[in-house]
Structure 1
């Protein structure tokens, strides 16, 4: 909380005042409504009690002309689903036919959401089976960021082009902006996107400032290719079809240098490297493993050494996860892992698409250990300079079973 309050004390004071008032008189939240003003609080029907089933509630928020709406979730507890198909909250910029800023469910709180104008629509839908206390959110008005007469983002339909964060490269991008670039190619072509420079506030789960890339023309978690933050440029991204949407969002606190990216159209027969929808593949330009090192390493006898306990402290990262992809390149196997649990992170780069977290791991010797797609493993290893996990024959990898969970939880609290 201090993270935001240090820079936006007035905004936090609003919520503090609301919280104090609630200690004496808890507000009664109804199903939707039209709300105007500089700031306010909205919540699901009956919050913090369990929200009712089979409902659709719509809140239309309007702040003064010339301002934008900033919405921050203080609490969210809805039925969880990877694609938010059952109970969910949708947030739109504008009141009618506006751009969807996101769909949310479960208990994961997104960063601040910013409209492009002075109106925002929040819609909550529940099915016949409910599970949770709903949501509580605070909205406020803010001055929009402008560069000349243009907001950031827009439609891009030339064969190639560039997109970048506001203020690039003179200074950091501003707080509280949302930029969406909609790239459209001819029907027989796809789109390639590469980031030349990339520096966006780092967070393990990219909850605050982030870049999301979607197949198609709308923000849809089911079509999300990836969600990125930190200071390492994402791997090149290829669209499935002829449309791609790139969304950049910064919340109301820390900022960074930002990014500059380039796109170009490609023939549809061009071999894509996108793995939908949880992650993107290893870039072909990644730094290769030195050949002499790999050959010497892979001549060792392939035998697991030690136990979970004896390898835990010496490992840079420890995760459990499901192998989604395993691609052999040269003498190594490049693996994408959907994370089940994270025990030691180190500098491991983690991407999030929807509610799924994933990471990339290189098995230096392609058959040691031998990894199969679709199986669950415990991975303990090192992290390279690009944030990828690195597994050599002497590192500890084993099939993950539910009985291992207790032991790993104990190790997580161990002082190494």
Structure 2
């Protein structure tokens, strides 16, 4: 049961929204399922807000501000069905109107910081399942100049031959909690992007679950592959090789707890043939396997793991311990989602994050070889396909995860392959 005082902030927000729209109508704003919104500013909200949002709905809002400006979205209130992975009811925010990079997914009562598009368009989409549990959301959008948004905002389009990007408040004080920033770097078609962090200090965590910087190979398209995720105080350095696209997306996210100094990064465009440098850069030439299709011959092999944990570590693209939370059989393969307990070797595996919880999608090429059962904990070693999904072959090394394995796995994490 929600206490009466929980409505106080909602009433205040509705009063503000009503005041803004009073010139058009004396009534309080009515929020419908989706819409097309244009102009310098405005409000969007879930259908019927502040009443309970309807079940089984999909609502899309397309926001356009004047050309040459960017969209800044501030959630004033959010109360959706809570789930660690935001699988049931959630709000997605995208750059652009179609095939845009997703800036973030939100559920529960977590209210993110200001979200900024890289151009003058943004799309917000809310999806609910058959069961609802909350009063929805209300957010305000406004137009801002790309380079004059003040310290509280960050992100945007970077298309000059060289430039810098930094966390809010840099270098005067720590970055704020609850911030999401997305920088979209676009080079000419015949050039590459060199990226370097001069200073770097983001809340430390072994798996970068709380505050982090993620770098994606690609831009607006939603299938851009994540190159890596970083936190702590060791600055990553990149020189991107010829297989990379001419676009990069850099995402910074801070949760609602600890913060740190933040970072400043620099980029510049280079011709495709990079000159040799005396400095040894960290490159992004991760081993990637091609997509594998199950065949009758492959799936008739004996379903038997070989070797040991130690012996299979270096030959595997990724190594993790996790709980199988969903399984579905499709096209002769088993598609599973694994909630990650610990990850010991990430490689190029695409990892989804919702709050402090991480998950990965795996394909068992021969659906029952090896066998993964929902609800059980496993140590899983495998390869990674071009789509970033884990590939589990009949001879992949998989075993039940037990606490006694933890010490050995921690030791393997520091192993030099």
**TM-score normalized by structure 1?**
0.48
**TM-score normalized by structure 2?**
0.48
